[in-house]
Amino acid sequence: SSDLLEEWPLLVGPQIARVTRAEAVSTEGQLRVRVATAAWAAELQLMTPQILARVNAGRQGRITGIRWLAGGTAPPPGGPRTD
């Protein structure tokens, strides 16, 4: 799971990496991700299936879900683009 936390920016790409930080993986396979804003958390919630597929591609331990946590100690806010 520590590999996953380190690889997070590569797995999700620069735009998502700028506003998120993967924090931990539970024993049940839940990935906890800190998100800069509630707007981004809502956007990422909709993208969870695609992100899970990328995270699990070629990986032994399966991540079963992602818990998006808005606010707190996250990267600087960028917010979803509206264009």
Whether residue 21 contacts residue 8, with contact meaning beta carbons closer than 8 Å, is answered with yes
Residue 61 pLDDT more than 70? yes
Residue 23 has pLDDT above 80, yes or no: yes
The residue-averaged pLDDT of 32-56 equals 96
- Residue 78 scores a pLDDT above 50: yes
The yes-or-no verdict on residue 82 having pLDDT over 60 is no
Q: Is the pLDDT of residue 54 over 60?
A: yes
Q: What is the dihedral of CA 72, 9, 68, 45, to 10 degrees?
A: 140
Mean pLDDT across the stretch 2-11?
91
Alpha-carbon distance 42 to 35, whole Å? 10
